[in-house]
């Protein structure tokens, strides 16, 4: 008998994705690349697209365990190709070997490919490197990779490129975009161009970015072969010279192809779905923890955080990335499935002194106030599979302890169903808001939650009708956006921009800064000492 409960769920590749909850609103807004790219390469891109769509062997570069390492992933047709050649001298590159494995042939039209995963070590800051990888027994042409400062680290933070999500949208030629296979996936063609455009604009204006953080949903066609979407995503020209720290989104999570393409460091084996699970890494003054919240077993995520903190207990900053926005402001997710794990993750993040949580999923932009838990007992909630076992029951949240099904869309609900939803909403008011004045805060006790809008513009959602009390700033202008994060020992700073149709860039929020001062550290250490003494005395 099929168990439809998803506590600590491991989803099978047959689980289909649902693109919307019945309570969600569809959107007619998207980035039409035939318009925004009319004078900047769209015609050339359409000629290249058949070749790009058929090239499954694009290279991905992921962050390593720390700033001195890089992880490479790519497909090839030879099982002995897990070799990267890397170094400062283009004519004397050092060979690094890794591991290969078979790719599920159902993803690649029954042609056997092998994934290759290789770690490169020994990187130095502010240094130009060259690399090649081995494909089908031959080395590729050399590419460049420049490192930046390891002291003050700058990151490009993006959400939901979701290449392929513009399916069904009408273009300037009145043809609807389709998410078919191969070169007929015109949605992937549209969105891959837009994703490349965003990276070109953002990275040309911020040449000292160390790496990219993506909050998930790199591609769209969940549960189905989508190699042309990965090819379109990875074809972005800037990705040949910069690393990423990608997150598993709900559209990535249900098949193994994400894990073939992206070789993430320090994989804990916790929070697993078909795509993979939780991982972590250190970079400069920060410890970064990436959780696969498509798995609702928070006890496993707690183990990942514990392991990560033990690996770098003296990190100045602890930053978590998740896909689902437990504190967001979009109409589609923030008041329904987005907050399903809020009551469980909020105290977990508080207990582990997390400073910032980066989120996606809602295809809108929001920045919260400084938040912390209320210290009260709350229910535990999750999503489950529907009766077919092949899809989520997007219409209900389930109470883990009582087994109660809570209907999320109450537009046609009974009085009892409305009462259950009101109780669920009230239970998720599990936070308190720290009193902060202005856009700079010193030594806060609360946590900042950032939700990124779509970086490609493949799909946008409306903002929730009422701005939540935990939200400080939110925005939806139907334009691709990105944030630039700067991290030093003493400060976390974030700026967010949107890209207009003419390619110009404008800020959509004021600069926000979290400062950590020596006085604040001394106060925190004293408080920790007092708490330890009190606990010892109590024993």
Strands (E), 121-275: 128-135, 138-139, 143-146, 153-158, 211-214, 243-246
pLDDT reading at 433 higher than 50: yes
Q: Return the number of other C-beta atoms located less than 10 Å from residue 415's C-beta.
A: 8
Just give the CATH number of 68-146: 2.60.40.380
Token duo for residue 411: 């537009």
Q: Where in the chain is the domain with CATH 2.60.40.380?
A: 68-146
102 — phi, psi (to 5°)?
-75, 140
In the chain, the percentage of residues whose pLDDT exceeds 90 is 84
Average pLDDT of 16-32? 54
pLDDT reading at 409 higher than 60: yes
483: CB partners within 8 A, 6+ apart: 156, 157, 158, 450, 452, 494, 495, 496, 497
pLDDT reading at 335 higher than 60: yes
| 539 or 372, which is more confident | 372
Q: Are 353 and 208 in contact (CB under 8 A)?
A: no
pLDDT classification of 223: cutoffs 50, 70, 90: confident
Instruction: Please tell me the pTM assigned to this model.
Output: 0.92
pLDDT digits (tens, 9 = 90+) for 313-331: 999 999 999 999 999 999 9
DSSP string, 374-399: -S-----EE--B-TTSSSB-TTEEEE
Q: Where in the chain is the domain with CATH 3.60.21.10?
A: 46-51+147-378+428-531
Bridge partner residues of 481 (DSSP)? 498
pLDDT classification of 23: cutoffs 50, 70, 90: very low
| 533 or 320, which is more confident | 320
pLDDT digits (tens, 9 = 90+) for 142-167: 999 999 999 999 999 999 999 999 99
Q: Are 258 and 227 in contact (CB under 8 A)?
A: no
Average pLDDT of 438-451? 97
Average pLDDT of 241-258? 95
Task: State residue 134's pLDDT score.
Answer: 98
Q: Are 407 and 395 in contact (CB under 8 A)?
A: yes
pLDDT digits (tens, 9 = 90+) for 273-302: 999 999 999 999 999 999 999 999 999 999
Pairing of strands 491-499, 512-515: antiparallel
pLDDT reading at 531 higher than 50: no
Task: State residue 387's pLDDT score.
Answer: 75
DSSP 256: T
76 — phi, psi (to 5°)?
-155, 170
Task: State residue 389's pLDDT score.
Answer: 57
φ/ψ region of 251 (left if φ > 0, alpha if ψ in -120 to 50, else beta) reads: alpha
Task: State residue 16's pLDDT score.
Answer: 29
pLDDT reading at 105 higher than 60: yes
Task: State residue 27's pLDDT score.
Answer: 64
SS3 state at 438? coil
Per the listing, tokens 């060259």 go with 130
Distance CA 229, CA 484 (A): 26
Average pLDDT of 76-86? 96
- Average pLDDT of every residue of the chain: 91
CA-based angle 133:135:138, to the nearest 5? 85
374: CB partners within 8 A, 6+ apart: 429, 430, 431, 432
Distance CA 298, CA 271 (A): 8
In the chain, the percentage of residues whose pLDDT exceeds 70 is 90
> Within the chain, what is the greatest distance between any pair of CA atoms?
75
Per the listing, tokens 């000629």 go with 47
Task: Say whether domain 46-51+147-378+428-531 belongs to CATH 3.60.21.10.
Answer: yes
Token duo for residue 96: 């690094």
Average pLDDT of 457-473? 97
CA-based angle 194:177:196, to the nearest 5? 10
pLDDT reading at 487 higher than 90: yes
Task: State residue 394's pLDDT score.
Answer: 80
| 112 or 4, which is more confident | 112
DSSP 107: G
Distance CA 170, CA 168 (A): 7
Token duo for residue 284: 């400069």
SS3 state at 211? strand
Residue 332, Cα to own-chain centre: how many angstroms?
17
Burial class from Cβ neighbours inside 10 Å (0-12, 13-18, 19+) for residue 139 reads: middle
Average pLDDT of 448-470? 97
């Amino acid at each position: 008998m099929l168990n439809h409960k998803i506590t600590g769920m491991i989803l099978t590749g047959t689980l289909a994705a649902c693109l919307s909850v019945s309570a969600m609103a569809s959107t007619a807004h998207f980035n039409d690349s035939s318009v925004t790219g009319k004078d900047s390469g769209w015609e050339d891109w359409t000629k290249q697209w058949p070749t790009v769509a058929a090239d499954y062997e694009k290279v991905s570069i992921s962050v390593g365990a720390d700033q001195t390492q890089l992880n490479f992933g790519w497909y090839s047709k030879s099982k002995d190709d897990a070799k990267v050649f890397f170094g400062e001298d283009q004519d004397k590159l050092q060979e690094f070997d890794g591991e290969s494995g078979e790719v599920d042939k159902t993803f690649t039209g029954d042609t056997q490919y092998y994934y290759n995963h290789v770690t490169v070590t020994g990187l130095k800051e502010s240094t130009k490197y060259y690399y090649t990888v081995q494909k089908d027994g031959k080395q590729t042409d050399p590419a460049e990779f420049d490192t930046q400062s390891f002291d003050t680290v700058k990151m490009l933070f993006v959400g939901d490129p979701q290449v392929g999500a513009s399916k069904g949208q009408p273009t300037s030629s009145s043809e609807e975009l389709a998410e078919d296979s191969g070169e007929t996936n015109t949605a992937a063609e549209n969105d891959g161009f837009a994703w490349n455009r965003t990276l070109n604009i953002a990275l040309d204006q911020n040449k000292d970015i160390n790496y990219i953080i993506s909050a998930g949903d790199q591609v769209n066609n969940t549960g189905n072969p989508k190699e042309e979407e990965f090819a379109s995503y990875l074809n972005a020209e800037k990705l040949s010279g910069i690393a990423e720290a990608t997150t598993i989104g709900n559209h990535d999570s249900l098949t193994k192809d994400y894990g073939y393409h992206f070789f993430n460091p320090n994989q804990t084996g916790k929070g697993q779905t078909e795509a993979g699970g939780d991982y972590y890494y250190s970079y400069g003054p920060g410890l970064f923890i990436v959780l696969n919240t498509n798995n609702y077993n928070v006890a496993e995520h707690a183990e990942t955080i514990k392991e990560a903190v033990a690996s770098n207990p003296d990190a100045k900053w602890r930053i978590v990335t998740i896909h689902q926005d437990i504190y967001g402001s979009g109409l589609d997710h923030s008041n329904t499935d987005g907050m399903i794990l809020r009551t469980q993750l909020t105290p977990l993040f508080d207990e582990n002194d997390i400073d910032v949580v980066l989120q996606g999923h809602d295809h809108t932009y929001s920045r919260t106030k400084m938040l912390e838990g209320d210290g009260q007992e709350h229910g535990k909630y999750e999503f489950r599979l529907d009766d077919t076992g092949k899809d989520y029951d997007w219409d209900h949240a389930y109470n883990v302890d009582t087994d109660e099904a809570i209907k999320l869309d109450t537009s046609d609900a009974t009085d009892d169903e409305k009462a259950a939803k009101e109780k669920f909403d009230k239970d998720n008011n599990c936070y308190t808001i720290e009193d902060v004045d202005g856009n700079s805060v010193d030594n806060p006790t609360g946590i900042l939650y950032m939700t990124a809008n779509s970086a490609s513009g493949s799909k946008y959602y409306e903002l929730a009708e009422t701005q939540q009390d935990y939200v400080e700033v939110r925005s939806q202008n139907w334009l691709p956006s990105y944030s630039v994060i700067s991290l030093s020992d003493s400060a976390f700073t974030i700026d967010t921009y949107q890209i207009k149709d003419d390619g110009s860039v404008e800020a959509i929020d004021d600069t926000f800064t979290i400062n950590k001062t020596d006085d604040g550290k001394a106060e925190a250490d004293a408080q920790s000492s007092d708490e330890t003494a009190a606990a010892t005395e109590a024993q």
